[in-house]
Amino acid sequence: MLRRGRRVVFCEVKAKGGRVFGDPLEMITDEKLRRLVQAGESWLASHPEAAGLEVAYEAIALRAGRLQRVPLVL
């Protein structure tokens, strides 16, 4: 989880050992998304001071030695 201003982002970070192993984003399954959303909702419920913040879910993937930020569509 990270926060900047009025926006809080719940994030899944993925990397693989090389291109031969495939794209890191392939590891984000529907079940993984469900768990990420559940964790985000749980955190928000336990932090009432966060009410009214913009909430987003993203993935950070290490691809070709660079970090790439990808919004997750729920």
Give 50-66 pLDDT, tens digit per residue: 999 999 999 999 988 89
pLDDT tens, position by position, 6-56: 999 999 999 988 777 888 999 999 999 999 999 999 999 999 999 999 999
Q: Which amino acid is at 10?
A: F
Residue 58: name the closest of 25, 31, 18 by CA. 25
Residue extents of the structural domains in the chain: 2-57
Residue 20: φ, ψ to 5°: -60, -25
Q: What is the pTM assigned to this prediction?
A: 0.85
H helix intervals, the chain: 30-46
Instruction: Tell me if 59 sits within 8 A of 9, measured CB to CB.
Output: no
